[in-house]
Each structure stands twice: as structure tokens, then as C-alpha cells.
Amino acid sequence: MPDVSHPYDPLPDAPKDWTLKDALAATKSADGHFHCGQLEFESEKDYKSFTAAQIDLGGSKEQLDTLHYIETTGKPPRMEAMNPPPAGTTVDQLLDLGNQKPDKAGMYHLGSLQVSEKDYAKFAEVQKLACQNPEGLAALYHLEHSADTPPPTFRVTPDNERHDNYDPAKNRINFNPNSAVRDNSNGALLPPVVAVIHEEAHWGSRGAVLDTMSGIPAKPYGEMADRAVIEGAEGREMQRRGLTPRHAHEAQMIPVKGLESTTPSLTMQQDGKEREITPPFQQSGRVIGVKDGIATIAVRGDGTQPEHRMSFKVDQLATAMGQNVEQAEGLLKGAMSHKDTVTFQTTNDGRVVYQNPDQQQRIHDHPVGNIPFPDPMTPPPSAAQQVQAKTPAVEVGGR
């Protein structure tokens, strides 16, 4: 555990006669929810999980202070920056490998921090950006001066693992340089570099306060521990960049090119070649295949170009459409089963507007009840498709 970082504001003392039993006492409301002060649990099982976890922690003073704060305010303690590094510390010093060769496992050792030879270039690139924020510099310094066992590791994930996280069991930060985050609740877009600040904050905030907050729901932020980081280090970095902070943990990973980019990238396969789609782009055609994450569209020849096929990665397309993968796949499969002609049109900021006028016509013709299917063997549309069918065009993700 880093003994040089103090990520949370000092908490006020809980009342002296306030015990763990008081902290775990709950009332049950008419909707079946359990309440411990301002903490709310939607089910008895969630409440029981909470009590079991808190009893396991043993009832230390820090735990009680944290619980008292959360139960009286309904929010996590404010997360502060880690202590700054010694004056004059620069990111170049912290990234300097000297004459170091990777060890037998292919790892470089930057003090206590391990980074593989394969990941080092991208790691250094993103750290130079993250360390423009003094909080980023402090985090990197502490990662390199940690007494942790196992020592911290920074890993760059490949695109088939399009996610970022911190795994305390392995003490490993996983970072995907080609993924931004879109909070669909408020349109906030987080460039990849912000994920580094976020995950490093999770690393630096371990201890009794974090242990106490783990597993306590904090909708829509996920858990209290997530809310502390989203509103803390991540929120400050977003503010520093002049970007809208997100308000929800339920968000979408979107493919981008560039560590500071929030513009979705969309590629397509045409004639066996992959190419980046750049606005303006508009194509209409029939969906003829949705399989293994690839959607294939047949585009009819129109005199200016012959009939041809285009293939899109469904996850990229979903992102650009502002849908999750399952929703987009449902739309595309529905269009395929109906043999609809669909249109994809990019906006100037890289979003994709998807239109299915054939589907609109069916809804117009059959405003109530089930939409008839051409093939009795075709499964009915999913709930997501039915909801989507009420929307004439998908256009999500504006700034």
C-alpha cells in the first residue's frame, strides 16, 4: 500500500458511542428497500451482503468514520490528489530507462513499477499526457516508489480486450489506448488518457476507506468507490481539459484513434481492404449477414458505382450509432430478416445516423400490436428492437 499518498479528505469522527451495530441497523421502506441512513439497498440480499462485508472488516475507527460519513451524507468521502512528488521531478525522469534491458519476463522496471518491453512505448506516450496533470505525475511517482507486493504493473491491452480496469489481486492497471468512454446519460466523452488517471486513482486510494466503500451501491455511479474516483481524480482531469465530466458508471467504450481523442473511429472492409470512414459518408443497402461480430451490407449499383459489399465491425458501428453491441446487432438482424434497405450516414463529428424507412413503414401500417414477419420461422424482435423501432433515426453522442 502506498504510504505516501493520502487520497481522501480527513473524515470527521463518528460519534464515540456509534458502533458497527448502529452502522448496520436498517429500516425497511414500503418498496422493500433497506436504508441505513442515506444509504439505500434495493434488496435484502444486497443489504445482507453489505452487512457481511462490513462485519468482516472488523469495525476499525476508519471504517466507522467512513460509514458514518456515507450514511449521513449519502456520498463517498471526497478523493484528493496523492501527495506531490519531490520538487523538480519530471515525467522524463520517471520514464527514463537508462541502460536497462528487459528482464527474462520481458519487463522493464521503473523503480517498483513494471511495464513490458512491448507496452513501454505506448505507456510512455500516455504518461507524458497524463503527467501534464500534477495528479498524474504524483500517481506515476508513487507507482514507481511503492512497497507493494506484488509490485504494480501497467499493461496495455489489445483491442480485443477493449477495456480499462485496475485489478487489486494482481496489482495491475490495464489500459486500452484505443478506447474512449461515452456516458450516454449526459453525452460526456472521456479520451483514453483519462482512463489512466482513473485507474491510477483506484490504485492510489486503497486502504480502509476504499475497503469500506467496496460493494456499497451508488447508482448511477456503480459503487461508492467508483463514484469517489469519477467525481475525484477523473472529474478534475475532465475539468482541466475543459470537458464535461460523466455522471454514470454505465457507459460505453468507443473506439478512437489517439490518446486524447473522443471522435469515434469507424472502419469498413471493401473489396478486401480495410479503410477508415471519414465524413461525409452515406451508403444504402441490404443487410445480408451479421455473424462473428461483422455486419455485411450489399449495396446496389447506381450507375456511379457497381454493386458491391461492405463489411463493418458491429462493435464499431454500434458505437458510432450510440447503441450497445446487442442493440445494434438486434437492429441489423431485424433489418436482415425483413430484407429492409437501410441507410448509414455519418455526421461531421463521426457519428453514424442509421435509418430504416422500411421498418418505419411497417410501424406506420401496424401501429398497434406485433409487426408481421415475412417468415414464420423468424424470431420475434427483442425488447430492445421494439423500443428502437419507435425511434425514426438513431443519433446519439453529440457534444
Partner 1 sequence: MNDRAVSDLGERVSAARPNVTTLTVYRLPPRLRALVKVSAVALESYADVQVEHIADAATIVSALDAIARSRPRPAHEALDARFGLVFLDAAGERVLSVYKGAFALDGQIDEVLCEYEETALHAWLTQRYGV
Instruction: Give contact residues for partner 1 (rule: CB under 8 A).
Output: 42-43, 45-46, 49, 155, 157, 160-170, 172, 174, 181, 195, 198-199, 202, 214-215, 217, 222-223, 225-226, 229, 249-253, 324-326, 379-380, 382-383
DSSP-based three-state secondary structure for 77: coil
Strand locations in the chain, DSSP E?
27-28, 34-36, 39-41, 107-110, 113-116, 153-156, 165-167, 172-175, 179-183, 188-190, 252-255, 267-270, 273-276, 282-291, 294-299, 308-313, 341-346, 352-355, 393-394
Minimum CB separation from partner 1 for residue 177, in Å?
13
Rg (CA), the chain: 25
DSSP-based three-state secondary structure for 74: coil
Minimum CB separation from partner 1 for residue 185, in Å?
11
Choose between 5 and 174: whose C-beta lies nearer to partner 1. 174
Minimum CB separation from partner 1 for residue 96, in Å?
27
Could you give the angle at the alpha carbon of 293 between the alpha carbons of 395 and 290, nearest 5°?
A: 80
Minimum CB separation from partner 1 for residue 287, in Å?
18
Residue from 123, 66, 73, 62 nearest 94 by CA:
123
| 151 CB burial (10 A radius; 0-12, 13-18, 19+) | middle
Decide: 286 and 353 in contact? Cβ < 8 Å: no
Choose between 303 and 369: whose C-beta lies nearer to partner 1. 369
Decide: 239 and 216 in contact? Cβ < 8 Å: no
Choose between 70 and 310: whose C-beta lies nearer to partner 1. 70
Encode burial over 278-310: b for 16+ CB neighbours within 10 A, e otherwise: eeeeebebbbeebeeeebbbebeeeeeeeeeeb
Contacts 24+ apart (CB under 8 A), 223-226: 223/249, 224/70, 224/75, 224/76, 225/76
Decide: 49 and 102 in contact? Cβ < 8 Å: no
Minimum CB separation from partner 1 for residue 226, in Å?
7
Choose between 42 and 349: whose C-beta lies nearer to partner 1. 42
Choose between 176 and 346: whose C-beta lies nearer to partner 1. 176
Choose between 46 and 117: whose C-beta lies nearer to partner 1. 46
Minimum CB separation from partner 1 for residue 107, in Å?
16
Minimum CB separation from partner 1 for residue 321, in Å?
16
Minimum CB separation from partner 1 for residue 363, in Å?
18
φ, ψ of residue 264 to 5 degrees: the values are -60, 140
Minimum CB separation from partner 1 for residue 209, in Å?
14
Choose between 157 and 270: whose C-beta lies nearer to partner 1. 157
DSSP-based three-state secondary structure for 333: helix
Choose between 22 and 167: whose C-beta lies nearer to partner 1. 167
Q: What are the cell numbers at 333?
A: 438482424
Choose between 6 and 33: whose C-beta lies nearer to partner 1. 33
Cis (ω within 30 of 0) for the bond into 280? yes
